[in-house]
Amino acid sequence: MKFFIDTANLDQIREAQDLGVLDGVTTNPSLMAKEGITGRNNILKHYVDICNIVDGDVSAEVIATDLKGMIKEGEELAELHEQIVVKIPMIKEGIKAIKYFSDHGIRTNCTLVFSAGQALLAAKAGATYVSPFIGRLDDISTDGLNLISEIRLIYDNYGFDTQILAASIRHTMHVLECAKIGSDVMTGPLSSIEGLLKHPLTDMGLAKFLEDYKKGN
């Protein structure tokens, strides 16, 4: 299972990278705005900065919603760095853009996916990644994890290469459940990765080991 961090915050990206388990980064326009990164040139530079910190794939989202605009922007993003994956929204023109990029060897991440049907279409169009937003489904009292199971079943039935990138992860249990289901990737905040470390018995056990060592030395 690949671990991506879902942020545009360079400090958090560095921290996750330093942990040694980071496989990539996802961003979106809201995450960029949260870091105060505005203006096309600053945004493009920020993507390059992120690529220079991590070894893996970095999703960069298009803003255009028409096919011509998405192709123009996506090609510009893909040119920035070999690690860039072009993030395309799950809309009709987006499916056409994913197909175009797939035919032209440019990797894509189909974002804002909330149903198995959408995920099936994205795979048919040749998306590299599909991003079901599980947290946002949970937010509206729908089972986000069930969507991951449905997509896993469909992709396995037909051997689709599209990787399931469980997005809108909110906590460690989402990560664990996605791992059990067989999601290829998860993207979440740093806390959802670092939370996996924690267990009170580990802390208590370590404290006792150190205490006992001190007694004999």
Strands 24-26 and 129-132 come out as unpaired
Q: Which of 45, 87, 180, 215 is catalytic?
A: 87
Binding residues for ligand G3P restricted to 70-109, rule: CB under 6 A: none
- Using rule CB under 6 A, residue 6 touches ligand G3P: yes
Active site annotation includes 34: no
Write the DSSP assignment of 114-127 as a string of letters: -SHHHHHHHHHHT-
Q: Which residue has the tokens 């979440």?
A: 188
How far is 116 from 15, CA to CA, in rounded Å?
A: 34
Minimum distance of ligand G3P from residue 170's CB (angstroms): 6
- Using rule CB under 6 A, residue 133 touches ligand G3P: yes
Binding residues for ligand G3P restricted to 19-48, rule: CB under 6 A: 26, 28
Task: Find the binder of ligand G3P among 58, 97, 167, 190 (CB under 6 A).
Answer: 167
* CB atoms inside a 10 Å sphere around CB 210: 9
Query: What element of type H or E holds 5?
Result: strand 2-6
- Using rule CB under 6 A, residue 12 touches ligand G3P: no
* Nearest CA among 57, 94, 56 for reference residue 74: 94
- Using rule CB under 6 A, residue 136 touches ligand G3P: yes
Site residues (CB under 6 A) for ligand G3P? 6, 26, 28, 131, 133, 135-136, 167-168, 187
Active site residues: 87
